[in-house]
A and B are shown apart, each in its own frame.
Chain A
Amino acid sequence: MREHLNFMTIKVKFFASLREHVGQAEAEIDDKSVRTVADVWRSVTKGLAFPDNTLMAVNMDYVEASHSVKKGDEVAFFPPVTGG
């Protein structure tokens, strides 16, 4: 049942300062109007401004906001990385 649910939705993750800014770590959306990463942001954050330096990934690869998404994808938003 859980796998079925995941397959039918887009999983969304937020990390670090962006998670605090958005106020959630994870979400799942099933919104037929969502076609791109930018749409995912709008759908999940309900109109919150998109910070300029935000990085995005689909299925753990970096993408641009115009990248298309489909059901079953994992979409992540996070600030510039600061490891090392």
Chain B
Amino acid sequence: MLIEIKDRSFEPYQRLLEYQTSAGFAGKYGATAVFVGSMREFNQGDDVETMLLEHYPGMTEKYLQKISEEAANKWDILDSLIVHRIGEMLPNDPIVLVAVWSAHRAAAFDASRYLMEELKSRAPFWKKERLSEQTRWIEKNT
């Protein structure tokens, strides 16, 4: 179980492979569920030039750890990985990686969905978009 906050661009598939290779569950997993969220170049009908992701240091890590532990208690999974960006981002930049390993697919699917939904509703991150002539905070997650 690992959580990471990155203040610069990261390659989610490379990080996934590194983690999977170094983790101690080789030969034990039959399923890997992966979610990658990326920055769009449009939102609410407007072109978005850049986005700033702010977080509450300490509380963010605490809640990502908490939801990871909840998922591990609810489903029969082998391991999970959450990586989330902060700072200034450009369209197409990966924002979040969630990966879950389990023996069978149902647990990995369900736990990865749970981690993403809980992250979006409880982890203290905030997005501010820069459009061509203004900036605006995203007011709520969809």
Give the 4 A-B CB pairs with smallest separation, nearest first: A83-B125, A16-B126, A60-B59, A84-B120
Task: Give A17 to B120 CA distance when docked, in angstroms.
Answer: 17
Say yes or no for B139: interface residue by CB 8 A criterion: yes
Chain A residues with CB under 8 Å of B127's CB are: 82-83
Task: Give A15 to B53 CA distance when docked, in angstroms.
Answer: 11
- With an 8 Å Cβ cutoff, the count of chain B residues facing the other chain is 27
Say yes or no for B99: interface residue by CB 8 A criterion: no
A-B contact count (CB 8 A): 73
Say yes or no for B105: interface residue by CB 8 A criterion: no
Contact residues on A (Cβ < 8 Å of other chain), bracket? 10 to 19
Contact B116 A15 (CB under 8 A): no
Contact A84 B139 (CB under 8 A): no
Contact A16 B141 (CB under 8 A): no
Task: Give A57 to B55 CA distance when docked, in angstroms.
Answer: 14
Task: Give A10 to B89 CA distance when docked, in angstroms.
Answer: 34
Say yes or no for A72: interface residue by CB 8 A criterion: no
Contact A82 B141 (CB under 8 A): yes
Question: B interface, by DSSP: helix, strand, loop or mixed?
Answer: mixed
Q: Which of A41-70 contact B (CB under 8 A)?
A: 55, 57, 60-62
Contact B56 A76 (CB under 8 A): yes
Chain B residues with CB under 8 Å of A83's CB are: 53, 55, 84, 95-96, 119-120, 123-127, 141
Name the contact of A84 in the complex, choosing from B58, B62, B125 (C-beta under 8 A).
B125
Say yes or no for B140: interface residue by CB 8 A criterion: yes
Chain A's closest residue to B53 (CB) is A83
Contact with A along B50-87 (1 / 0, CB 8 A): 00011110110010000000000000000000001000
Chain B residues with CB under 8 Å of A1's CB are: none
